Chain A
Amino acid sequence: MNLTFKEGGTVSPASPKLLLLMRDIHKRYPGVYALRGVSFSVHAGEVHALVGENGAGKSTLVKILEGAVQPDAGEIWVGGRKVSWRGPRDAIEAGISVIHQELSLAPHLTVAQNIFLGREPRGGLFIDRRRMTEESRKIFSELGVDIDADAQVSALTVGEQQLVEIARALSRNARIIAMDEPTSSLSAKETESLFKVIKDLKKKGVGIIYISHRLEEIFEIADRVSVLRDGELVGSGPLSKFSQEEIVSLMVGREIKAFFPRTAAPLSEVVLEVRNLTRKGVFSDVSFSLRRGEILGIAGLVGSGRSDVAMSIFGAYPPDAGEILFEGKPIKIGSPRDAIARGIFLVPEDRKVQGLFLNMSVKHNLTIVELLKKFKLLSLVNEKAREERAREFIRELSIRCGSLNAEIRSLSGGNQQKVVIAKGLSVEPKVLILDEPTRGIDVGAKAEVHRLMDDLTRRGISILMISSELPEVMGMSDRVLVMRSGRIVASFDRENLSGERIMMAAAGGSE
């Protein structure tokens, strides 16, 4: 595919229409090469879409742009001048505003107070509230939106709050506005009015960086597109040169290099069945079944409801409607405790916040769930037995740690993850739910976790795996469900899996 052209070499950084040029940006984190020589530019009056899978490097690029993170190498030019930022303040002064998915407004202040937060106009000693209100009104009328400048922000819809953020950016004379998944929580009507505002901003010569997974939107609003994959720019050019399929294949298009040790599972009886599971406003009508010894993958974008379904099955956030059948019988799960008693265990997405006790030792983390089953509340815990058990897990899962009493935080991410999985195995589960089982761990540890998963299924444990990493989903799953906006939108068997098809279903592109 001859769509790639590397920017930077051909464009003069001093060109008058070029608002922003990031040239040959490199950024390494421990264990991750987040950006490898990425170049990116924004012209006055254009919308430049930035797309890529989770972990492709989009957010790192945005963090560098807003001055929150410094690049290891590379140049940034703004308005024809080379800049280097010490912090977010410098970036704001240079005319850059980033509107994050999580809005950053003070909910109890008024719209005008938020717009001028930290830069309140003063008349004499006191804040000139009237001027704040008037200037806010002026900005809103230029934007052609109807928002009361004196309203409290918490009373506004999410869409309106987003417009307040845009107004704040404009009041700071932003020339470049980056929007991260701006429509993820907007209704169709709100999206429409956002697009109207974006088109207006274009006319005023503002450059917009539009980060989104939603291909339809990108084709509606963007002029140019850049595709990131594994920290590299793999495609960039005017949108008219691309089709949806081409963008998807650029996003996904890597051979699956890693070796996945999945051995085919024999067909056997259904262990867990979920019927029409619904949690209002989060997911609806989710039905699927999981067989003994099977790995069922759930793919989908972050926020598509995957983790919420898992949490509901585990009883952490009980569903509003629907049925869960376990070994053929309908069961009620009101809390994680119930789930664990049935033999369902969840290894959560965020190891540090949900999976580990960071102030406890390896030994205590390994044995805490097992304690629940085997001991009375006040009976003395046999320290020897506890140590023996911990040692067994360390051997079985080859967890590398200094000692049983080592602090859990001293372990590498991969070993921490193994501890969380071991915690689950200690209760001899029948169903293991793994949410992002290999997030943030190195390649070697990933392979070990994958091998472990395969082992577990051969012992008859069924695994429900949620993953944002396509190669993992495709390499490890016997079947794959794809979720989008709280619903299951596609289901694939191992034979007819393809990265493009999964991505297309997840992103809501038309096939």
Chain B
Amino acid sequence: MNSTVVLRKYGSFLVLGFLLLILALFYPGVLSFSNVANVFSQVAVVGICAVGMTFVMLTGGIDLSVGSLVALTGAVGAWLNTHGGFHWSLAWVGAVLVGMLCGLISGLFVQWGKMPPFIATLSMMAIARGATLLITRGYPISGTSSGFNYAGWAYLGPFPVSGLLMLVLIAIAWVVLRKTRFGTYVYAVGDDPETARLAGISISKVRVIVYVISGACSAFGGLLMVGRLWSAQPNVGMGMELDVIASVVLGGTSLFGGVGGVGGTLIGVLIMGFLDNGLRMLELSSYLQQVVKGAVFIGVVGADLYFKKVRSGKC
């Protein structure tokens, strides 16, 4: 194994380690149990969306609608629970179905409408945001039941439930991607669509399904977000797609598909989480935080391009 392969495979670990080291120098409490638990609860929504995004990006696509779907599905769930009077579990099911439906529409536009994923999901981003504002009339929906909110804010002993749910979802996704036929197909489609087609894989099905998965994940994220804020906020999740995509790419999943995985995504999510956490502790202005995040994102994409060049240079 040469050095670029090592960097490609373990680069995200190195970045995370390096980041923690720097933060620990300025603020020794960064690795304390309570701070780590805090970070896990804060990254849970982004992390859960990033799981779905990993599926999409492994096939070579991208989903820009995740932030808007978080808001929409949260609002749908909260509306069903409060105005609709449904039990929280049914409200959750309804919200997840809406998320999957939105994902399905994006996927169909990408696959059968032959639209670039960027455009299809950008449109979905606008539509979902607009729908959220219509449902909420621009005001937060509060009054969701405590069962509805539990997963978003509660702790099981010292562990935040939302963080645990994220880990469970990542574990499930890992098994699906690494151990099932469908997972292999996700990689195959992103690696080389033509080879996949000639191997008898129905690439259109795979491409649509990953957007549905992404929609479902966004819905889980949206429901947790309602619990965390004790209300469905119409403007929640704006700009979140950047955090999600950055986490996935930081975790080593290539923007060009076929390379990476959900294990790396966890590392990427933690990098973004601790970066957030650290910048806040250093009391940098939130405007500057945005700049830093943007810069990190550019750096990560640059590294991805570089690794792609190395890969193709070798064959």
Instruction: Tell me the A residues contacting B by CB distance below 8 Å.
Output: 314, 316, 335-337, 339-341, 346, 348, 352-360, 364, 368-369, 371-372, 375-381, 383, 409, 423
30 contacts between A and B (CB under 8 A): A316-B197, A316-B198, A336-B200, A339-B200, A340-B199, A346-B198, A348-B198, A353-B195, A354-B192, A357-B191, A357-B192, A357-B258, A359-B187, A359-B191, A359-B311, A360-B188, A360-B191, A364-B184, A364-B187, A368-B199, A369-B199, A372-B200, A377-B180, A379-B181, A381-B179, A381-B180, A381-B181, A383-B179, A409-B315, A423-B199
| Nearest-CB residue, chain B, relative to A356 | B195
Q: How far is the CA of A73 from the CA of B199 in the complex (A)?
A: 44
Of residues 244 to 280 in B, which have CB atoms within 8 Å of A's CB atoms?
Answer: 258-259
> Does A372 lie within 8 Å of B179, measured CB to CB?
no
Q: How far is the CA of A335 from the CA of B191 in the complex (A)?
A: 20
Output the nearest chain B residue to A376 by Cβ-Cβ distance. Answer: B181
Interface residues of B in 192-212 (CB under 8 A from A): 192, 194-202
Is B314 an interface position by the 8 A CB rule? yes
> Closest CB-CB distance, A431 to chain B, in whole Å?
14
Identify which of residues 165-221 in chain B touch chain A, using a CB-to-CB cut-off of 8 Å. 175-176, 179-182, 184, 187-188, 191-192, 194-202
Contacts of B182 in A (CB 8 A): 377-378
Q: How far is the CA of A359 from the CA of B199 in the complex (A)?
A: 16
Smallest CB–CB gap between B175 and chain A, Å?
Answer: 7
Q: Which residues of the partner chain B approach A377 to less than 8 Å between Cβ atoms?
A: 180-182
**A358-B191, A359-B187 known; A375-B181 Cβ under 8 A:** yes
Taking A364-B187, A379-B180, A409-B314 as known contacts, 19 extra A-B pairs with beta carbons closer than 8 A to each other, sorted by chain A number, are A335-B202, A354-B198, A356-B195, A358-B191, A358-B192, A359-B187, A359-B258, A359-B259, A360-B187, A360-B188, A360-B258, A369-B199, A369-B200, A372-B200, A372-B201, A375-B181, A376-B181, A377-B180, A378-B181
- Give, as a whole number of angstroms, the nearest-CB distance from B59 to chain A: 13
Q: Which of A335, A346, A359, A375 has the most CB of B within 10 A?
A: A359
Given known contacts A377-B181, A377-B182, A380-B180, A354 and B202 CB-to-CB distance under 8 angstroms: no
Q: For residue A348, which residues in chain B have a CB less than 8 angstroms away from its CB?
A: 198
CB distance from A416 to the nearest CB of B (A): 10
Interface size on B, residues (CB 8 A): 25
Contact A368 B188 (CB under 8 A): yes
Q: Could you tell me the distance between the alpha carbons of A383 and B196 in the complex, rounded to whole angstroms? A: 21
Chain B residues within 8 Å of A378, by CB: 176, 180-182
In angstroms, how far is the closest chain B Cβ from the Cβ of A60?
Answer: 20
CB closest chain-B residue, reference A420: B195
In the complex, which residues 115-164 of chain B have their Cβ closer than 8 Å to any Cβ of chain A?
Answer: none
Chain B hits for A358, CB < 8 A:
191-192, 311, 315
Q: Collect the chain B residues with CB atoms within 8 Å of residue A423's CB.
A: 199
Q: Is the interface of B mostly helix, strand, loop or mixed?
A: helix
CB distance from A138 to the nearest CB of B (A): 42
CB distance from A265 to the nearest CB of B (A): 27
A-contacting residues, B301-315, CB 8 Å: 311, 314-315
Say yes or no: B195 contacts A336, CB within 8 Å.
no
Q: Across the interface, name the chain A residue whose C-beta is closest to B209.
A: A377
Q: A355's closest neighbor in chain B, by CB?
A: B195
Bound Cα distance A356, B176 (Å): 22
A159 to B192, CA, bound (A): 34
Bound Cα distance from A340 to B200, whole angstroms: 7
Shortest distance from the beta carbon of A460 to any chain B beta carbon, whole Å:
22
Interface centre among A353, A364, A378, A379 (most CB of B within 10 A): A378
* B191: chain A residues within 8 A (beta carbon): 357-360
- Chain B residues whose C-beta falls within 8 Å of the C-beta of A341 in the assembled complex: 200
Minimal Cβ-Cβ distance residue in A for B312? A358
Q: B188 and A353: CB pair below 8 A?
A: no
Interchain CA distance A378-B186 in the complex, whole Å: 12
Chain A residues near B184 (CB-CB < 8 A): 364, 368, 371, 381
A436, chain B: closest CB distance, angstroms: 14
B88 to nearest A CB, angstroms?
Answer: 28
* Nearest Cβ on chain A to B114's Cβ, whole angstroms: 17
Given contacts A359-B187, A359-B259, contact A336 B199 (CB under 8 A): yes
**Centre residue among A316, A336, A357 by max chain B CB count within 10 A:** A357
A408 to chain B, nearest CB (A): 9
- Chain A's closest residue to B197 (CB) is A336
Complex alpha-carbon distance, A421 and B175, angstroms = 29
